[in-house]
Chains A and B, each alone.
Chain A
Amino acid sequence: GEDVEQSLFLSVREGDSSVINCTYTDSSSTYLYWYKQEPGAGLQLLTYIFSNMDMKQDQRLTVLLNKKDKHLSLRIADTQTGDSAIYFCAERVQGAQKLVFGQGTRLTINP
């Protein structure tokens, strides 16, 4: 079945890199996504990666995909206070528009 797991909390110092990890179970997933949610807001799409890619970089964001281990990570370089939010990893169920989300990782930035 489909299941996505994330650690619940991450705390980093301002200016450091943040790495948020995610594991998924559905090997047929075609796309994997990272969303950001700020308090009281909806989900903001940050980036996504196709399952036949290993890495994708977009400005301060780097996504790494290890398909063999079904492990996905999001690295945020030079973390800023504005990056404080909950980050969700999601897998796209093959052949459907359905997304299966992890529990979300709350990122806290320390000055």
Chain B
Amino acid sequence: KAGVTQTPRYLIKTRGQQVTLSCSPISGHRSVSWYQQTPGQGLQFLFEYFSETQRNKGNFPGRFSGRQFSNSRSEMNVSTLELGDSALYLCASSMGGENTEAFFGQGTRLTVV
């Protein structure tokens, strides 16, 4: 069974640009969550999608948005990039029920210059 796939693995963008990251969950998993990891703030929850609907949202500005498609693949978009958005973005895949494990992808390393 394939694991969680995130693309691309690395990205370099300029301040003010926008970026889209992609996450393909484990087959059969309907929940995709996104996290931002930085040395200063650690791992922080961005949002979670289940069956194409956002169920939970963290404390991030509106520049961070996401969506989920009918095949459960999810994309995350960051507009008007700032230097502070440089981070490892991780997505987690789970069945979505009450007692489920969350499996993470390798992450996308975003550098904003």
Contacts and interface: CB of A to CB of B under 8 A. Distances in A.
Contacts of B4: 42
Contacts of A41: 106-107
Nearest to A92: B102
Contacts, number: 60
B107 A42 contact: yes
A44 B56 CA distance: 23
Contact of B31 (A50, A90, A97): A97
B42 A103 contact: yes
Interface residues of A, number: 22
Chain B interface, >50% SS class:
strand
B100 to A, nearest CB: 8
Contact of B42 (A30, A35, A101): A101
Interface string A100-111: 111110000000
B24 interface: no
Given A97-B56, A98-B48, A99-B92, A45 B99 contact: no
Contact of B105 (A31, A42, A101, A102): A42
Q: Is the interface of A mostly helix, strand, loop or mixed?
A: strand
A30 B35 CA distance: 20
B33 A98 contact: yes
Nearest to A43: B104
Interface of A: 30-31, 33, 35, 41-45, 48, 50, 88, 90, 96-104
9 contacts: A42-B105, A45-B102, A45-B104, A88-B43, A97-B55, A98-B48, A98-B58, A101-B35, A104-B42
